[in-house]
Amino acid sequence: MEDVVKYKIWLSVLKISDKMKLELLKFFKNEKDLYENKNKIKNIQSKWAKEFQKNMDCLDITSIEKSILNKEYKITTYNDKDYPTNLKSIYNPPYCIFYRGNISLLNVRESIAIVGSRKCTVYGKESTKYICTELGKKCINIISGGALGIDTIAHKTCVTNKHYNVAVLGCGINVTYPVYNKALYDEIEKIGVIITEFLPNTKPYSFNFPKRNRIISGLSKGVVVIEAGEKSGSLITCNYALEQGKDVIAVPGSIFSPQSLGCNKIIQDGAYIFTTIENMLYNLAINYKKDKKLEFCGLKGKIIKLLEEKVMHIDEIINNMNVDTDIIHELLCELQFENEINMISGNYFAKIL
């Protein structure tokens, strides 16, 4: 394992706030530099020094280091290239994210959060399936929380259709919650990503989930609420979205359904009402091409043809394609998910024979 990762693990488990970690890094080149000069902290900010000194030398990072080395999960931190860009603009972003799967598409595509009741109705299930299927066709990431009910249906729909989706956990990356979703998480890892800001082995305490919800909204361009009771936890995600300057869209429901009281109330309070996919994307200012899938099929074919001739570096692929670089990255990710190509060392790609 690279030394730099060890120091990132060290800082991630340090018992100081994320805000303090990010502020401290402003004074040092990186985590290794911070560690090697940690005794100078008291000369930088007295308000940090006491807390920092108290926690800095009582840490055991061996188990996390071993798990990352064994590729059980990965780590990305605030200054890394693959850290989700959208999170950098929220209040109190996490310093560190642990994840399983492919995190790269979060910085390439638009994302929409799907949240809702754990005790959903048939109407809620069908609404979720429809919305997630249609958004997936338009290459829009689905973000949800992995909980029972609407969250699980959103993830299962994406897995069935092989669409990229993101499960944001309220526990450690190596903790399965709910246990019922273990097989689902394994499938999400293959075509999407599971992420958490909580340290490995963290139990799913109830107070973790409101904090988790700010990550769900933070990753997304907007939040869609599909069935929510009057006091649903989904409404916490909506409040975070509004604080972050994001739009909220609610699926209207029956006035006789307890599961729709929350949705109907936030529509009354000014949330966008869901009518059609196109109208929702217009309200969220998300541009897409109706024939994007057809366009991608042609571009994917061109990439595959290039790689049939020889192994290519990503820069050479980009030079051979008259397409925006972000789209090339997205296509390469999708081709890897589809087991058409492999990325080998040094950003070289090869066709799978």
Confidence of residue 262 (pLDDT cuts 50, 70, 90): very high
- Give the Cα separation of 280 and 108 in Å (integer): 20
* Residue extents of the structural domains in the chain: 1-72, 104-284, 299-351
Element (H, E) at 57: none
pLDDT in tens, 183-201: 999 999 988 999 999 999 9
Q: How high is the pLDDT of residue 233?
A: 87
Q: Among positive and negative, which fits the CA dihedral 93, 96, 100, 103?
A: positive
- Give the Cα separation of 149 and 146 in Å (integer): 9
All residues at 6 or more sequence positions from 143 whose CB lies less than 8 Å from its CB, including other chains: 111, 112, 113, 114, 165, 166, 168, 216, 219, 220
Span 206-229, mean pLDDT? 96
Span 242-255, mean pLDDT? 96
- Give the Cα separation of 100 and 182 in Å (integer): 13
Query: What is the DSSP pairing of strand 222-226 with strand 247-250?
Result: parallel
Kindly indicate whether the domain formed by 299-351 is annotated with CATH number 3.40.640.10: no
Q: Among positive and negative, which fits the CA dihedral 292, 297, 298, 301?
A: positive
| pLDDT above 90: residue 208 | yes
For the segment(s) 104-284, the CATH number from 3.30.70.20, 3.40.50.970, 3.40.50.450, 2.130.10.10 is 3.40.50.450
Q: Pull the structure tokens for residue 244.
A: 């972050």
Count how many Cα atoms sit within 13 Å of the Cα of residue 5 in the half-sphere of its side chain. Answer: 15
Question: Looking at per-residue confidence, does 168 or 332 come out higher?
Answer: 168
Q: Is the peptide bond before 178 cis (omega within 30 degrees of 0)?
A: yes
Query: What is the DSSP pairing of strand 222-226 with strand 111-116?
Result: parallel
